[in-house]
């Protein structure tokens, strides 16, 4: 029996919806195979995952057409529990799926439910913990673990069942670039050790392809639109057409006029062939590409001097931070979890109080300003819009800050309406918030901050979990605000965001600023990359292959080209 | 982690008892302490409580928050009892011995003060046992032993699960609250009460909504790993019952018997030194 999973003319419609979510799905997964499924948000990939692991139809009811078989048996005739003996699922949000109070209990969870007794229970948990290399943390609680460790625990929790197929639902969504890279390596390594088949569902294609996959399936609007090897698929423009970001090195090659064919092995930066002809084209493009524009001179809006802060009085979350931010800048703050990025913004907003140092806003001392007073100058937008929205109607949500400031209803009406127009929410002004998509909700939360007319706006992971289309939408909107003179500070893990939208990036590590430069300089500096838990951009590797000596300058020109030529 | 429900991991005879044993002992102990007002008995119980604390190696400093909280509560409670029924002691003990040459409704009587002493001793006999239970019982192991006592595992597990999510929810509450304050929601004591209640809603609504999302994810994660498949399950943190568990329960049952016996001997729940 070689085929593990087989879809034949499969379709699915949720009971609550009028039209099907999946149509004509045909593909199979063989023993030990590794498949990447990509597609934009709403293309049906999450539903597809639910179909494979049995949540559809056992938890989410609906109508199935066609056939889906696991080892030759129709899954709808099996039970959810039977399926889970064969198929292990690592869900997207490793924070929320952690059910045990400690690492050991979480790994043991499936065994406990299968009534495995002692001493087998403890032995098997230990074996798996060693396999995923988390055995030193058995007694730790989930809140004490890093993102990468959590991923290891969730993996351990499904591997303990000796499954034949592992599904990863957006495994990279909450991880910083370096941890994401390690996660992909870990998946690869485990697959080689255990021989399981692996399905990775992810729209960050370039990051997944860091380790080779056998096949790539591209989905759009509930259908499979391509099923090919990465080399074949990346030789087409299918990804871009369907709203999935293509690897950066590929974009650069295309800009340079290189015709990408499967024979160039474009599936990964490690395999792609840059021969004499291709290298010549790249060098030629590089020499003629527009040079980076110099940032305009402007006044400092924020001047932070020797800022230090500690939550517990011993470990410094911020250690002697000094930074000047110019009015009208678009700035990225990067670094690993716990490096101090969020703490820095919390201190700026007055949520926490600095132990030492000074903050000047437009030359005036910020000390003594309350949270509310600072909010009139610096707006803060949380990562998850659901954490901010507390009103039913969009208008009321945006008006909330003004109402609590005692602004007259008349003024509120004009100011809210103006803001809604700027934020592209005017058509929805009388809608309830719940009718909006995630990206639109994000806009509402930004509008709710913008209405207070702050000069600086801080966004925590503005594009986390968004596909390319929504990412572009949100970022273009922020660029638009930035052009109106708002200083934008973005806390992010997203290297694309840094490269494409930030004029300048500040890397944090262990409470200190370790580098303050333009994004191209940071993403090509291997020392900083390692300390800030980033990943080298594939453009840099491409330069090496093409024999271009100044990789940083190449990246700068690539960004300038994208900004000035491609995006217009 | 600064939770009210705060397990402190140590190696001691009290920690080694199973959670279920401690739970049964807690119930028996408190029944006994609540049942009788016999001063001599309560004194013994109070002393025993502190002996147990020493045995468990839990330092008073480690539970100072809970102790402080209950101390304030006991104080207020005593004051209120005095305010609302200053003659309660007299009614119970049947005599009225004014002290300090005062008289009148609110004048202190020996009976009333004795009643308050007993009242205070009751707390002293019972509160430490509750704190001790909380700080020496691993929640997962407690869930395991509840299940052994016949509680359905789905119910028992929900105890452990709730505790698992307390820190997450605390953190989220803090973040939401700060962000809402930045938008001008006044949470400080400066705002009038009604306004603060309204403000709380603007924090609770997002908190509830995002918790609902989480519930769906967790229940999926649990089902995908066979939770609910069988009628039984095993427990990683489970521990077998030992003779010490039996002994502890027998001892606590004995305490209850003594309390009941004293009830007959004293002709009621009160020990009366005034006759």
Q: Which two tokens stand for residue A412?
A: 């509120």
- Nearest-angstrom CA–CA distance, B240 and B145: 9
* Same structural domain, A281 and A331: no
Q: Are residues A214 and A285 in the same domain?
A: no
Helix/strand/coil (H/E/C) assignment for every residue in A43-108: CCHHHHHHHHHCHHHHCCCEEEEEEEEECCEEHHHCCHHHHHHHEEEECCCCCCCCCCCCHHHHHH
User: Are residues B51 and B105 located together in one domain of the fold?
Assistant: yes
Contact B210 A93 (CB under 8 A): no
Q: Which domain holds residue A198?
A: 3-242
Q: Are residues B131 and B21 in the same domain?
A: yes
Residues B67 and B195 in one domain: no
Stretch 4-63 of chain B: residues touching chain A, C-beta under 8 Å? none
- Minimal Cα–Cα distance from A25 to chain B, Å? 23
In CATH, what number is assigned to the domain containing residue A71?
A: 3.40.50.300
DSSP codes of every residue in B101-156: T--STTS-BHHHHHHHHHHHHHHHHHHHHHHHHHHH--HHHHHHHHHHTT--HHHH
Q: What's the pLDDT at A315?
A: 87
* Chain centroid to CA A460: 12
For the cut 60, the answer to whether the pLDDT of residue B3 exceeds it is: no
Same structural domain, B33 and B114: yes
* Optimal mutation site among A88, A107, A154, A387, interface B, most CBs of chain B within 10 A: A387
Q: Where are the alpha helices (DSSP H) in A350-407?
A: 371-375, 394-404
Query: Residue A326, class by beta-carbon neighbours within 10 Å (0-12 exposed, 13-18 middle, 19+ buried)?
Result: middle
Pair (A193, A273) in one structural domain: no
For A387, the closest of B1, B172, B217 (CB atoms) is: B172
Peptide bond preceding A119 in cis form (omega within 30 of 0): yes
Distance of alpha carbon A458 from alpha carbon A332, whole angstroms? 10
- Given a contact cutoff of 8 angstroms between Cβ atoms, the answer to whether A79 and B219 are in contact is no
Domain check: are A36 and A154 in the same one? yes
The CA angle B263-B269-B270, to the nearest 5 degrees, is: 115
pLDDT at B211 over 90: no
- The secondary structure of residue A246, as a DSSP letter, is P
User: Looking at the 3D structure of chain B, how many domains does it have?
Assistant: 2
Helix (H) or strand (E) holding B68: helix B64-84
Distance CA A433, CA A444 (A): 8
Query: Is residue A466 within 8 Å of residue A446, measured between CB atoms?
Result: no
User: Are residues A496 and A403 both part of a single domain?
Assistant: yes
CA distance A89 to B225: 9
Within a domain: residue B233? no
Cα-Cα-Cα-Cα torsion A548, A552, A554, A555, nearest 10 degrees, comes to 140
Beta bridge partners of A513: A508
* B168 lies in some domain: yes
Domain hosting B68: range is 13-138+240-265
A141 contacts in chain B (CB < 8 Å): 1, 167
B213 lies in a domain? yes
DSSP per-residue string spanning A280-335: HHHHHHHHHSPPPPPPPP--EEEEEEEEEEESSSSSEEEEEEEEEEETT-EEEEE-
Find the residue in B nearest to A95 (Cα): B168
- pLDDT of A465: 75
Whether A304 maps to a domain, the answer reads no
Interface test with A, best of B139, B169, B236, B237 (most A CBs within 10 A): B236
Residues with Cβ within 8 Å of residue B123, at least 6 apart in sequence: B70, B74
Question: Dihedral of the CA atoms B179, B182, B188, B193 (nearest 10)?
Answer: -90
Chains A, B: CB contacts under 8 A, how many? 161
Instruction: Tally the domains of chain A.
Output: 3
**Does the distance separating the beta carbons of A96 and B218 come in below 8 Å?**
yes
Cβ–Cβ below 8 Å for A125 and B236: yes
Q: Answer yes or no: is B193 within a domain.
A: yes
> Nearest 5°: CA angle at A445, between A439 and A447?
105
Same domain? For A330 and A396 the reply is yes
* Per-residue confidence (pLDDT) for residue A422, from 0 to 100: 85
Residue A196 sits in the same domain as residue A331: no
Query: How far lies A223's CA from each of A65, A227, A467, B32, B202, in Å?
Result: 14, 11, 17, 69, 41
Give the contacts of A81 (CB within 8 A, at least 6 positions apart).
Answer: B226, B229
Count CB-CB contacts under 10 A for residue B266. 15
Angle between the N-to-C axes of helices B193-223 and B153-182, in degrees from 0 to 180, rounded to the nearest 10: 140
3-state helix, strand, coil in chain A (%, to 5): 40, 20, 35
Query: DSSP states of B155-183 as a string?
Result: HHHHHHHHHHHHHHHHHHHHHHHHHHHHT
Q: Which residue has the tokens 């429900």?
A: B5
Could you tell me if A392 lies within 8 Å of chain B, comparing CB atoms?
no
How is the beta sheet containing A300-310 ordered, strand by strand? A316-326, A300-310, A356-361, A364-365
3-state SS class at A235:
coil
Instruction: Indicate whether B93 and B113 sit together in one domain.
Output: yes
Please tell me which residue of chain A has the smallest CA distance to B153: A113
Is B251 inside a domain boundary? yes
Q: CB A97 to CB B214 under 8 A? A: no
Composition of chain B by helix, strand, coil, percent to 5: 70, 0, 30
Q: Is position B96 within any domain?
A: yes
List chain B residues with CB under 8 Å of A353: none
B54 and B160 part of one domain: no
Whole-model pTM? 0.86
Chain A, 39 to 58: residues with Cβ < 8 Å from chain B are 53-55, 58
Using the predicted structure, report yes or no on whether residue B198 has a pLDDT greater than 90.
no
Q: Are residues B162 and B182 in the same domain?
A: yes
Flag whether B219 is in a domain.
yes
Query: Residue B64: inside a domain, yes or no?
Result: yes
pLDDT at A186: 93
CB within 8 Å: B179 and A382: yes
Q: Is residue A284 part of a domain?
A: yes
Element spanning A219, H or E: strand A215-220
Give the bridge partners for A306, in sequence order: none
B86 and B113 within one domain: yes
pLDDT band at B188 (very low <50, low <70, confident <90, very high): low
With both helix axes pointing from N to C terminus, report the angle between A394-404 and A438-450 in degrees, rounded to the nearest 10.
20
User: Does residue B151 sit in the same domain as residue B166?
Assistant: yes
B268: exposed, middle or buried (Cβ count in 10 Å: 0-12, 13-18, 19+):
middle
Query: How far is CA A229 from its chain centroid?
Result: 24
B31 & B70 share domain:
yes
Asked whether residue B126 falls in the same domain as residue B249, the answer is yes
pLDDT value at residue A568? 65
Among residues A163, A29, A259, A176, which one has the least CA distance to residue A495? Answer: A176
Same domain, A404 and A461: yes
Secondary structure letter of residue A565 according to DSSP: I
Token output for B198: 């309204």
Task: Verify that A396 and A460 share a domain, yes or no.
Answer: yes
Interface mutation vs chain A, best among B143, B158, B188, B225, most A CBs within 10 Å: B225
Contacts of A159 (CB under 8 A, 6+ apart): A88, A128, A131, A132, A166, A190, A194
Can you tell me the distance from the alpha carbon of A106 to that of B236, in angstroms, rounded to the nearest whole number? Answer: 10
The C-alpha atoms of residue B227 and residue A238 are separated, in whole angstroms, by 41
Closest CA to B240 of B19, B12, B92: B19
Domain membership of residue A311 (yes or no) is: no
Whole-angstrom distance, CA of residue A286 vs CA of residue A284: 5
**A554 and A518 assigned to the same domain:** no
Interchain contact B186–A (C-beta under 8 A): yes
Residue A567: partners with Cβ closer than 8 Å, 6 or more residues away: none
CA dihedral A531, A533, A535, A540 (to 10 degrees): -20
- Pair (B249, B211) in one structural domain: no
**Token pair for residue B130?**
């509750």
Closest CA to A379 of A489, A238, A247: A489
**Would you state the pLDDT for residue B4?**
45
| Residue B188, preceding peptide bond in cis (omega within 30° of 0) | no
Tell me how crowded residue A66 is: count the other CB atoms within 10 A of its CB. Answer: 15
Given a contact cutoff of 8 angstroms between Cβ atoms, the answer to whether A210 and A184 are in contact is: yes
Q: How far is B69 from chain A (nearest CA, A)?
A: 23
Q: Has residue A299 been placed in a domain?
A: no
Tens-digit pLDDT profile for chain A (568 aa)? Answer: 589 999 999 999 999 889 999 999 999 999 999 999 999 888 899 899 999 999 999 989 999 999 999 999 999 999 999 999 999 999 887 677 888 889 999 999 999 999 999 899 999 999 999 999 999 999 888 778 888 898 899 999 999 998 999 999 989 887 889 989 999 999 999 999 999 999 999 989 999 999 999 999 999 999 999 999 999 999 999 999 999 999 999 999 999 999 999 999 999 999 999 999 999 999 999 998 877 666 667 889 999 999 999 988 888 999 999 999 999 999 999 988 778 998 999 999 998 899 999 999 999 999 888 888 898 899 999 888 888 888 888 999 999 989 888 899 999 999 999 999 888 888 888 888 888 877 788 889 999 998 988 999 999 988 887 888 888 888 988 998 899 899 999 999 888 899 999 989 999 999 999 999 999 999 999 999 999 989 989 999 999 999 999 999 999 999 889 888 777 6
A408 touches chain B (CB under 8 A): no
The tokens describing A258, both together, are: 């290189």
In the block, residue with structure tokens 């609590």: A404
């Amino acid at each position: 029996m070689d085929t593990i999973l087989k879809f034949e003319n499969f379709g699915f419609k949720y009971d609550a919806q009028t039209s099907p979510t999946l149509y004509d799905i045909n593909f199979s997964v063989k023993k030990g195979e590794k498949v990447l499924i990509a597609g934009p948000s709403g293309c049906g990939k999450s539903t597809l995952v639910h179909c494979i692991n049995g949540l559809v139809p056992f938890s989410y009811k609906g109508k199935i057409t066609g056939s889906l078989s696991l080892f030759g048996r129709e899954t709808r005739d099996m039970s959810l529990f039977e399926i889970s003996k064969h198929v292990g699922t690592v869900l997207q949000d490793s924070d929320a799926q952690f059910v045990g109070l400690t690492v050991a209990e979480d790994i043991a969870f499936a065994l406990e439910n299968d009534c495995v007794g002692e001493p087998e229970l403890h032995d098997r948990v230990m074996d798996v913990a060693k396999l995923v290399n988390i055995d030193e943390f058995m007694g730790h609680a989930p809140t004490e673990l890093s993102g990468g460790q959590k991923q290891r625990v969730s993996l351990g929790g499904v591997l303990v069942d000796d499954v034949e197929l592992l599904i990863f639902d957006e495994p990279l969504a909450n991880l910083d670039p370096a941890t994401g890279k390690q996660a992909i390596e870990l998946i690869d390594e485990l697959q080689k050790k255990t021989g399981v088949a692996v399905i990775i569902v992810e729209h960050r294609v370039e990051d997944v392809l860091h380790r080779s996959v056998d096949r790539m399936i591209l989905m759009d609007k509930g259908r499979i639109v391509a099923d090919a090897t990465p080399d074949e698929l990346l030789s087409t423009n299918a990804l871009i057409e369907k709203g999935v970001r293509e690897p950066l090195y590929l974009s650069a090659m295309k800009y340079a006029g290189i015709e990408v064919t499967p024979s160039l092995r474009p599936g990964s930066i490690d395999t792609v062939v840059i021969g004499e002809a291709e290298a010549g084209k790249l060098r030629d493009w590089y020499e003629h590409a527009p040079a980076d524009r110099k940032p305009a001179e402007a006044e400092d809006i924020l001047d932070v001097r020797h800022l230090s802060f500690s939550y517990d009085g011993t470990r410094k979350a911020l250690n002697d931070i000094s930074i000047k931010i110019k009015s009208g800048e678009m700035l990225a703050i990067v670094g690993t979890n716990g490096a101090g990025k969020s703490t820095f913004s919390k201190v700026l907003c007055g949520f926490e109080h600095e132990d030492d140092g000074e903050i000047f806003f437009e030359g005036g001392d910020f000390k003594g300003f309350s949270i509310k007073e600072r909010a009139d100058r610096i707006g803060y937008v949380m990562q998850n819009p659901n954490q901010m929205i507390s009103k039913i109607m969009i208008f009321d949500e945006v008006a909330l800050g003004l109402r609590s400031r005692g602004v007259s209803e008349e003024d509120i009406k004009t100011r809210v309406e103006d803001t809604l127009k700027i934020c592209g929410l005017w058509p929805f002004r009388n809608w309830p918030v719940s009718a909006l998509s995630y990206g639109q909700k994000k806009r509402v939360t930004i509008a709710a901050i913008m209405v207070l007319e702050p000069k600086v706006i801080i966004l925590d992971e503005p594009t986390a979990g968004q596909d390319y289309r929504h990412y572009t939408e949100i970022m273009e909107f922020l660029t638009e605000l930035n052009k109106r003179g708002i200083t934008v500070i973005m806390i992010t893990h997203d290297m694309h965001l840094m490269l494409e939208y930030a004029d300048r990036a500040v890397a944090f590590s262990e409470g200190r600023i370790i580098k303050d430069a333009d994004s191209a300089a940071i993403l090509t500096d291997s020392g900083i990359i390692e300390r800030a838990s980033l990943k080298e951009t594939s453009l840099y590797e491409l330069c090496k292959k093409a024999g271009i000596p100044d990789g940083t300058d190449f990246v700068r020109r690539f960004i300038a080209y994208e900004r000035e030529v491609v995006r217009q | 982690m600064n939770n009210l429900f705060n397990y402190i991991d140590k190696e001691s005879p009290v920690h080694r008892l199973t959670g279920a044993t401690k739970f049964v002992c807690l119930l028996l102990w408190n029944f006994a302490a609540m049942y009788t007002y016999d001063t001599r008995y309560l004194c013994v119980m109070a002393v025993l409580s502190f002996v147990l604390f020493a045995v468990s190696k839990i330092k008073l400093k480690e539970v100072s928050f809970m102790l402080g909280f209950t101390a304030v509560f006991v104080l207020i409670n005593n004051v209120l009892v005095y305010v609302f029924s200053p003659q309660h002691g007299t009614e119970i003990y049947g005599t009225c011995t004014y002290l300090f040459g005062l008289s009148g409704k609110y004048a202190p009587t020996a009976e009333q003060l004795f009643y308050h002493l007993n009242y205070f001793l009751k707390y002293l006999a019972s509160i430490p046992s509750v704190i001790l239970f909380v700080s020496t019982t691993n929640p997962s192991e407690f869930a395991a032993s509840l299940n052994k006592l016949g509680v359905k595992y789905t119910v028992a597990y929900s105890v452990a699960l709730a505790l698992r999510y307390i820190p997450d929810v605390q953190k989220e509450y803090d973040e939401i609250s700060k962000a809402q304050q930045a938008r001008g929601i006044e949470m400080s004591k400066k705002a009038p009460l009604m306004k603060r209640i309204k403000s709380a809603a603007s924090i609770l609504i997002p908190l509830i909504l995002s918790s609902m999302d989480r519930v769906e994810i967790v229940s999926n994660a649990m089902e995908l790993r066979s939770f609910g498949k069988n009628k039984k399950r095993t427990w990683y943190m489970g521990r077998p019952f030992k003779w010490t568990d039996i002994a502890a329960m027998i001892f606590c049952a004995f305490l209850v018997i003594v309390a009941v016996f004293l009830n007959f001997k004293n002709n009621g729940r009160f020990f009366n030194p005034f006759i």
